[in-house]
Structure 1
Amino acid sequence: MLKLRQDQMTIWDCVLPKELLNLNEELASIDKILDDEVFMKPFLKHWNVRIGRPTVPVETYLRMMYLKTRYKFGYHTLVDEVRDSFQWRRFCRISIDEKVPDHSTLVKLTQKYGEKIVQELNQALITKVTQEKVIRSRKLRVDTTVVESNIHYPTDSHLLADAIKVITRKAKKIQKALGEAGPTVMDRSRSAKKRILAIGKLLKRRSGQAVESVREITEELVDKSIQTVLEAKEMLNHAEENLKEKLDKSVKRQIQKLDTIVQTAEKVIRQSRKVNRGETHIPNRVVSLHDPDARPIQKGKLGVKTEFGFKLEITENEDRMVTDYKVHKGNPNDETLLEDAIKRHIKLTGTVPHSVATDRGFTSRDNEKALTSLGVKRVSMPKRGKKSKERAELEKNRWFKNLQRWRAGGEGTISVLKRKYGLDKSLSRGHQGVSTWVGFGILTYNLRRVAAIK
């Protein structure tokens, strides 16, 4: 059952000294903003259920997630910190004699509400401050960056070894739960580890012969992975045919997880064989067993040629508010993202920006025409390659240069989001998990910006 707000004040709120309960300036401002009913509407829209046990109050959940993102806490640490602080209890609307929600409850709620709720919360905040004329959004700058997944550098040999290890570990848990004779999965983890160490030694030689030897060892890992996958499939089929009705929910979940890992491992096996045959271009390449949605992305950075994760598109106005964001799988061309980003902004705020500034990655004649047709008066996008005389004269205009200088400030915002709000690396997995992670980071950043502007 959905519960929006906490019960009334208790006697402790009247007995304890005010100094223990008064919120600092930041939390008082955020608390006032989150009191608005607009932040309850997304939950009522999707989760307005009147049966079952009451959930953690929505206002408590939102405030705890703000603190988690603001201070980059884990769920365990968040619960401990809120439990030990009078002020944070007051901010989260948790009475002194009341139990703080368990970390597992917060994890389940985050998975339950998902990316859609967080996106609508951000939209509600932008709509609210636009209608109140706190922000204007006459100027917009659009940029993209990479949110990295929490994975190690993915080589084919390491992915194969990981597949063997993970499948064996999960199969052992399932076999223990089944508790009867049946198909088993042989533990080849030690053999896979020896081959990984051998590859490390061979690569130090940096010769053509070493590369051929590495390919031979990788092929051996492919064979061992195939054997492990076949044994795991046999176990899954046995459980499905003979024990389906006898298994409890926890074992069924383990079986489902193993089935997902097996499917991903088969993709890793196929792509490893392609690489060994000399095929280097593999669409939708798997870079992680646990985060199969992550992709290799090249952004042209000098220090890091390739990053592994998701592409994040950010739209920001002159008040340094992130008015729109979107997490993309893979590395779509920036040119294809701009028009939709401006349309989403117009739909959300109800206003057409006067000026739009981007880097040269977004530049195309079609984009300039599209933005002009939408009503944008000034479009500042440097042209790539050789410029005509008319184009060179256009880019020399003061307004064009000023917009480009202002656009460069977006790199600072991205840096702040990465350093302080967790957008450098997502600890959640999958496209939905990363979108939720990014959404809470941007919501927390925007709430602080609104509090500073007001």
Structure 2
Amino acid sequence: MREARNAQPSIFDRYAKHEMGSQLEMMSALLDRCPAIVDLVESDLIDRRAKATGRTGLPVESVLRCAVLKQSRQLSYHELAFYLEDSGSFRSFARLPQGVVPRKSALQANIRRIQPATWERINQALMQEALSTGLEDGEQVRMDSTAVETNVHEPSDSSLLCDGIRMLTRQMVKARQLLKVPGIRFADHRKAARSLGRQVFYTRGATKKKPLYEALLSYAEQVLEESREALKLVERLQQDGPVYAQWVWQVTHTRQLLRQVIQQTRRRVIDGEQVPASEKLVSLHEPHTDIIVKGSRDVQYGHKINLTTGRQGLVLDATIEAGNPGDVTRYLPLIERQMALYGKIPAAVAADGGYASVPNLKGAKALGVNEVAFQKKKGLAIDAMSSTPALYRQLCNFRAGVESNISELKRAYGLARSLWRGLKGFMAEVWSAIFSYNLVKMSRLIAT
């Protein structure tokens, strides 16, 4: 059975006499001061029903520490495996058992088992440590939202149709050649669909594009029908092994997505209907992706997150939103979350102009916020928000600091674009980045 902590730490652990080595040593000490963090991760990695036989696997704290190394240094799993073997400082921080050198596949399999909710809880435990030691007081907070992109290409109806045709055809090829399912018949339209997709891309004018789309839709519907027949044949073999059941699930899921793409293409291109963003599918690989539009900026494809940071730039809280809700609707819930998480309402709250409204101002005051500042007043009087104009300007300057926090998260911790697959993977990467950022930030604050 997997151990929670390394029962026999090496006496040879050492950290390099370098700024990075000192930082890793301080980060390790911080994690030791919060033993509840390992206890929270333990439930994701240890199966109590498993028999105490066989290999034990990496200790829970080693998995967590390896995840922090990966996220804080922005390493691939291949690079992480190399540094864990090569660097004494990395091995000391990771607390790997003596002689154990994990492979990249083992690192990925273990790190991905930590659930998004667990990352969120351990971040809250870390922030409780920051509050108890005085690194942060939670009295003055600032809020802002940003978009984190998913790992998808620029979507278009033609490219999505081509993706669906390619994915279903590839699955039918697998069923016939690798799974040896008899009776599967289909025509390979991948080359023709790819050619039509290129023609759609280079053709200008809706009138000229329409017949090209009709031909592409015809191929997509034909592939749907062929995959339906193949699905019937493979479903009969599900009892022969999990590989058949997995094929059935993948094809069923892909068919549902392709059917949705066909419907939205017909509505938009053939019928000339304006399809709402909430009803659009923008990726067959990451179907959870939302369309994010912020002001007059370019459209982004991913998920919107709201961040709440304190005086020292620590991320006290974050929410990953569904769809593209307006900032104005999220202001009061974010303040209420501070009460739920930390047991008190901040005395001062600074936020971007997108959160500004009369109901939000009144609601914040009713909750017990003494000083409120919106970067753009939007008709609100300064004396209604803050006690003095000087304090209002101070809070506005304080709010601007959240932009640097977001910039650092995007540049140094991978929040510009999430590379982890699926919605759970996306959420886990966002929270692991926030946790790693806070851990590094706290180590720097203590060192100074």
TM-score by length of 2: 0.91
Name the residue aligned to 1:244: 238
Shift of 1:69: 0.8
Once superposed, which parts of structure 1, at least 4 consecutive aligned residues long, lie more than 6 Å away? 19-23
Q: 1:177 touches 1:251 (CA, 8 Å); kept in 2?
A: no
Shift of 1:144: 0.5
Distance across 2 between alignment mates of 1:19 and 1:448? 16
Name the residue aligned to 2:3: 3
1:39-60 Cα shifts (integer Å, max 9, x gaps): 1221345565332453421111
Matched, 1:404 2:378: no
Name the residue aligned to 2:40: 42
Name the residue aligned to 2:188: 187
Matched, 1:347 2:340: yes
Stretch deviating more after TM superposition (217-226 or 53-62): 53-62
Name the residue aligned to 1:206: none
Name the amino acid aligned to 1:39. I
Name the residue aligned to 1:147: 148
**Structure 1 pair 174–453 and aligned structure 2 pair: CA distance change class (3 A):** same
Name the residue aligned to 2:66: 64
Shift of 1:4: 0.9
Q: 1:21 touches 1:86 (CA, 8 Å); kept in 2?
A: no
**% identical equivalent positions:** 28
Shift of 1:278: 1.1
Matched, 1:318 2:319: no
Name the amino acid aligned to 2:254. I
Name the residue aligned to 1:417: 409
Name the residue aligned to 1:234: 229
Shift of 1:220: 1.2
Root-mean-square deviation over aligned CA pairs:
2.3
Distance across 1 between alignment mates of 2:412 and 2:141? 23
Name the residue aligned to 2:327: 334
SS of equivalent to 1:40: helix
1:77-125 Cα shifts (integer Å, max 9, x gaps): 211221222221121112452232x322333333332211111111110
Q: 1:327 touches 1:435 (CA, 8 Å); kept in 2?
A: yes
Q: How do 1:364-443 residues align onto structure 2 when only pairs under 5 Å count?
A: 364-382=357-375, 385=378, 387=379, 390=381, 397-443=389-435
Matched, 1:27 2:24: yes
Q: 1:89 touches 1:96 (CA, 8 Å); kept in 2?
A: no
Count of residue pairs brought into register by the alignment: 437
Q: 1:4 touches 1:59 (CA, 8 Å); kept in 2?
A: yes
1:323-381 Cα shifts (integer Å, max 9, x gaps): 00111122011112122211222222223211001111111222222221221101112
SS of equivalent to 2:239: coil
Unmatched segments (≥5 aa) in structure 2: none
Name the residue aligned to 1:207: none
Matched, 1:169 2:163: no
Name the amino acid aligned to 1:49. D
Shift of 1:216: 1.5
Matched, 1:271 2:264: yes
Name the residue aligned to 2:295: 300
Q: 2:350 touches 2:374 (CA, 8 Å); kept in 1?
A: yes
Stretch deviating more after TM superposition (424-433 or 38-47): 38-47
1:203-257 Cα shifts (integer Å, max 9, x gaps): 3xxxxxx3211122112111111111121122112211x21211x2234223312
Q: 2:16 touches 2:22 (CA, 8 Å); kept in 1?
A: no
Distance across 2 between alignment mates of 1:380 and 1:60? 43
Unmatched segments (≥5 aa) in structure 1: 204-209
SS of equivalent to 1:186: coil
Q: How do 1:30-109 residues align onto structure 2 when only pairs under 5 Å count?
A: 30-35=27-32, 36-45=34-43, 49-50=47-48, 51-52=50-51, 54-95=56-97, 97-100=99-102, 102-109=103-110
Q: 1:293 touches 1:329 (CA, 8 Å); kept in 2?
A: no
TM-score by length of 1: 0.90
Name the residue aligned to 2:283: 288
Name the amino acid aligned to 1:436. A
SS of equivalent to 1:24: helix
Distance across 2 between alignment mates of 1:49 and 1:153? 41
Distance across 2 between alignment mates of 1:239 and 1:154? 31
Shift of 1:198: 1.6
1:291-336 Cα shifts (integer Å, max 9, x gaps): 111011111244xx21111001100011100000111122011112
Stretch deviating more after TM superposition (186-195 or 278-287): 278-287
